[in-house]
Structure 1
């Protein structure tokens, strides 16, 4: 795989500032922001402070001929950067340095940036839709939408940035749309989509096919798991069937091969048991074990991305929202998170890695040297 450095990609981004007023190279400002966020900085002032403290270290990689920009300058630069260009650079970089294996799960899900609203109108909160490689635990790309309900239109734009060939793309029930399924198949991937009442005819057909009684049939393929921990016990059972069992509906979904049924039982320590049932469709030929594992892999995007952004990077608390700043800073956070997760020599969580990178120039150097940043 031919690797492309992120720094090279960032140099492609158009600088829309007036040339005679430019004192700080765009790539310098972006590299400063990425390394500062790796070191736990959260806002423009902290990024400037980091730069002033670490200028000699930063000059090992880029000239910084204009010195360190002020927080106001950093803010203006992030307002002016075209976020689509930045996201395209990010996705191209990740395509180059993150090799996916056949059947790997790419989970697509959205997250609201809760601090991005305008105080006068909280309806304008920004929603980012991200693609997450479950096995590698890294972000592959992201796009912005202004509401969760707009994920349906954002997902195809995100797919345009990704290489999904040979991968299994999972999305929540909102993404269970024939156009999205076709987009995934046309790009050489497979889909695994949960079916709910937004696809009423399909849901009714699956409900008629699957039942607990089906387990008694000798030809039924099923897979079960049991887990104990955190004061509860979880049991899951999955059955699959050939897509032709839904009759003519099979022709509405591109390449549809597998129907799935997953029932989950959770018993809390007070002995109260809850039951949840989900139906799935997939263009991949999956057995019961593979479908159950892939459906569970989808939720790594919640635990290993969204939770990390909230808890380790205070994503929801950030009130930066001028022009393109929120969207561009989200891409910087994703970049920094990928680099921190890729660095394995320090056995600690993201918060500890932030502090280690802040204290140690040599450790920060290890982080930025990963994933072809330089």
Structure 2
């Protein structure tokens, strides 16, 4: 990686340069004229949603910003010669997007671990990571079968930061990409939450034995035997262990959770408790109550997690849907016309990196942070830890 990138990324984003160095440059070394890492980072922080927007941001950046970003000068005129849209497009469509995803996710994971250690949490709460998939709908027109690019991602529930996405192509599915997604991450002691698709025995063994983590997995009829076992437990005779009342997003909700020890009687690896979560939901403007019952299993026993914690982790799993909404609204991901090669996945990785940096820098609203950076190009340098030249 060029020295200019190392200088840029050694500020408020320590170690990022080393992680990004894992990603091979797809260009011929003889033809490399531009260092793209810092430019793309700065442009995405400013809210760039497409190759065109990135190129426009670079073209409009003032000289002191371009100098700080390490943009080359013409040897004769001494004027800055930033990369154009075509160069940016060509590189991102050819980059190894899986390596970029792994680098971004591993760096964000390491940064969150470092932040937790710096805070000196003696009795910090157990970390929770949600796993869920998302289709990039705008890419469906470019595929031969009309199917959009599908990405499986892991999200830190506490801070809403993506720790790593992987692409799910037409030759595989989310189940086969579960372990590759989580393998690079340090998950010791964490609890992993996932929907019913990932309630797989191989996943449970991988998490508990391979990663020394715990799981909370939803149980539905895709596992008919397991579903029957959990549903037929004597829930009517098991007392409610946790009650929660929530109001927001246009509705009111009453949740109750029951938990039963099943370590000796459930045919699923490392299962310690079965869970029955009942949600009563009604719109704030009135209407009838709707009742939803969700069953789940967990490797956490009653001494490792309280019922209230179990309920909170199940509820917070759906924060990953809020992230999907954020990427669609603030970054226009579903409407994106980037369809070729590694472009969709690479841009998604850069969006995740930008969101992670903005959230860990203390910005409560990513949309407001993008507008803040777009109004003054030098603010992106401040966030990245670089002074204007």
TM-score range (shorter-chain normalised) is 0.7 to 0.9
- C-alpha displacement of 1:171: 0.7
* Deviation (angstroms), 1:92: 2.4
Identify the match of residue 70 of structure 1 among 56, 67, 84: 84
The equivalent residue for 2:281 is 266
Alignment gaps of 5+ in structure 2: 1-12, 75-80, 117-123
Whether the 8 Å CA contact 2:108–2:356 is kept in 1: the answer is no
Map 1:156-175 onto structure 2 (within 5 A): 156-175=179-198
- Contact 2:65–2:378, Cα closer than 8 Å, also in 1: no
* 149-158 vs 229-238, which moves further: 229-238
Q: Is the 8 A contact 1:91 1:140 kept in 2?
A: yes
What is the aligned partner in structure 2 of residue 187 from structure 1? 211
Pick the aligned partner of 2:57 from 38, 50, 55: 50
1:142 aligns with 2:142: no
| TM-score (norm. length: structure 1) | 0.88
The CA deviation at 1:210 is 4.2
Name whichever of 71-80 and 91-100 sits farther off: 91-100
1:165 shift after superposition: 0.9
Which residue of 6, 16, 31 corresponds with 1:6? Answer: 16
**Cα gap change, 1:312 to 1:210, in 2 (>3 Å):** farther
Which residue is equivalent to 2:241?
Answer: 222
Contact between 1:103 and 1:167, CA under 8 Å: does it hold in 2?
Answer: yes
d(CA) in 1 for partners of 2:172, 2:341: 22
1:360 shift after superposition: 2.2
- For residues 287 and 99 of structure 2, the distance between their equivalents in structure 1, rounded to whole angstroms, comes to 53
Tell me what 1:33 maps to: 40
CA RMSD of aligned residues (A): 2.2
Q: C-alpha distance in 2, partners of 1:19/1:52? A: 24
Alignment partners' CA distance in 1, 2:249 and 2:31 = 58
Structure 1 range deviating more: 182-191 or 118-127 = 118-127
Distance 2:377 2:191 in 1: 39
In structure 2, C-alpha distance between the alignment counterparts of 1:168 and 1:17, rounded to whole Å: 40
In structure 2, relative to structure 1, the CA distance for the partners of 1:91 and 1:270 (3 Å cut) is: closer
Alpha-carbon shift at residue 62 of structure 1 (Å): 3.1
| Residue 288 (structure 1) aligned with residue 318 (structure 2) | no
Residues 352-363 of structure 1: matches in 2 within 5 Å?
352-363=368-379
TM-score normalised to structure 2 length: 0.84
Which among 102, 125, 138 is matched to residue 115 of structure 1? Answer: 138
Query: 1:225 Cα shift?
Result: 1.4
User: Which deviates further from its counterpart, 41-50 or 258-267?
Assistant: 41-50
Is 1:237 the counterpart of 2:256? The answer is yes
Instruction: Supply the distance in 2 between the matched residues of 1:225 and 1:149 (Cα, whole angstroms).
Output: 39
5+ residue gaps, structure 1: none
User: Is 1:320 aligned to residue 338 of structure 2?
Assistant: yes
CA contact (8 A) 2:275 2:297 kept: yes
